[in-house]
Amino acid sequence: MKITFLGTGTSQGVPFIGCDCAVCTSPDKRNDRLRTSVLIETPEATVVIDSGPDFRQQMLRYKVRKLDAIVFTHGHKDHVAGMDDVRAYNFHDGKAMQVYANLNTQEVLKREFQYVFQNLNYPGIPQVDLNTIDGYNSFSINGLEFTPIRVLHYKMEVLGFRIGDFTYITDANYIELEEINKVKGSKALVLNALRYQEHPSHFTLPQAIDVAHAINADNTYFTHISHQLGLHDAVEDTLPEGMHLAYDGLTLEL
């Protein structure tokens, strides 16, 4: 399994519009962060988790010519806004894109992309097949098994996913022990870490480190990062052994 970080930034990305801080003006490309998303590739399946506003740019940047499915963590704009661009895959593959989401996220998709779901058969609109994730049961995409991990993003339930030895959790500030136990034994864990200051719906970096210690994966990679966290190298140097800042374009092989 190959994992590519398509984006590792928070909802407004990095650089932040109009900001002249050291992070936003850094020449180090690891400090440039598109909206958070990850690409998973196996011989059987190619899947993207979340299609945010940068989805088209990410697919072009990493030359993703084949895509079997999009799996959504939740319905916030920075995770769903790019779904319209599945049209290219509809054209090349001659079939609908398989989309996996819980019912709350499906409601958002139907509201944000009404024209997709109104059975108008208008030429050129995205073709998608909705598949329901119930949050409790695993599901399979071309033989690649996803186990949902239920987390809280303030009061909103968000889904992380364990795929074999890889676990991906973003937009969380609380994970119940039962869900943490599902993640234990992962070789690679991805976890959101917004900044150092408290936030109502995201883990701070110290909080994310505590959760990472509890899960004890071989390696942990922090994502959904704000410019407020600091320069990549400076933060990386402070992290415990086996913990890293993810960056756009980072690839893992499991």
Could you tell me if 222 and 243 are in contact, meaning their C-beta atoms sit under 8 angstroms apart? Answer: yes
Domains and CATH numbers, the chain: 2-253 (3.60.15.10)
What is the structure's pLDDT at 9? 98
What is the structure's pLDDT at 36? 98
Along the 254 residues of the chain, how does pLDDT read in single tens digits? 999 999 999 999 999 999 999 999 999 999 999 999 999 999 999 999 999 999 999 999 999 999 999 999 999 999 999 999 999 999 999 999 999 999 999 999 999 999 999 987 788 899 999 999 999 999 999 999 999 999 999 999 999 999 999 999 999 999 999 999 999 999 999 999 999 999 999 999 999 999 999 999 999 999 999 999 999 999 999 999 999 999 999 999 99
Question: Cα 213 to the chain's mean position, in Å?
Answer: 21
Strand order in the sheet with 2-7: 128-132, 97-101, 69-71, 46-49, 37-41, 2-7, 251-253
User: Beta strands of the chain (E only): which ranges?
Assistant: 2-7, 37-41, 46-49, 69-71, 97-101, 128-132, 139-141, 144-153, 156-163, 166-169, 188-192, 219-223, 243-245, 251-253
Length of the chain, in residues: 254
Could you tell me if 173 and 202 are in contact, meaning their C-beta atoms sit under 8 angstroms apart? Answer: yes
What is the structure's pLDDT at 21? 98
What is the structure's pLDDT at 123? 84
What is the structure's pLDDT at 121? 77
Burial of 161 (0-12, 13-18, 19+ CB in 10 A): buried
